[in-house]
Amino acid sequence: MKEESLGEITLRKYEKPYQLNSRELVKKICLSLGLLQPGDSRDVIVDILLALLNARKQKKEMDLEEIKSRVIKLRKNNNYELKGIANSNIRRQLKRLRDVFIVEKKANNYRISEFEGLKKIFEEKIEKFYIISIVKRIKEYLDELEKIN
């Protein structure tokens, strides 16, 4: 039996979202879903997700270079350091967003899954599918433990 997990998710609860701008809201969503660690200065995933959400409005897919360009522009406009903008890191962050079903890749382009809203993606793909499958597997382990103890 392998010790490698087949899936994982971290969920965090924060205060209610009052008077936050779009970047702050996206950052709280990333923190809430465990995509960003509290106090992490390398928060380029926030700008990647924000760029993809902005493109979603026009139902636009983007390749890596366009995402990178938009991330740089967002970070410059908000006076953030240009940390984490290497292609390899942007690809890694996109993979993390794909792993939790928020982003999908089609050929060499990325987009928010089916151009849906994040709430719908969370409800249908994360809450109803991913979390349930993890909880079900944990219960299988608990059942096995009950059998032998």
List the pLDDT tens digit at each of the 149 positions of the chain.
Answer: 678 888 888 999 999 999 999 999 999 999 999 999 998 888 999 999 999 999 999 999 999 999 999 999 999 999 999 989 999 999 999 999 999 999 999 999 999 999 999 999 999 999 999 999 999 999 999 999 999 98
* 103, burial (CB in 10 Å: exposed 0-12, middle 13-18, buried 19+): buried
Whole-prediction pTM: 0.90
User: Strand 103-106 vs strand 109-112: parallel, antiparallel, or unpaired?
Assistant: antiparallel
| Spatial separation of the C-alpha atoms in residues 39 and 130, rounded to whole Å | 26
Question: Going from the N-terminus, what domains does the chain have, and what CATH number goes with each?
Answer: 22-116 (1.10.10.10)
- pLDDT at residue 138 in the model: 94
CB-side neighbour CA atoms (13 Å) of 84:
19
Partners of 62 in the β-ladder? 110
- Beta carbons of 3 and 22 less than 8 angstroms apart: no
Place of tokens 């979390």: 131
- pLDDT at residue 42 in the model: 87
- pLDDT at residue 1 in the model: 66
Distances from the Cα of 79 to the Cα of 22, 72, 74, 97, angstroms: 15, 10, 9, 24
| CA dihedral sign, ordered 50, 53, 57, 59 | positive
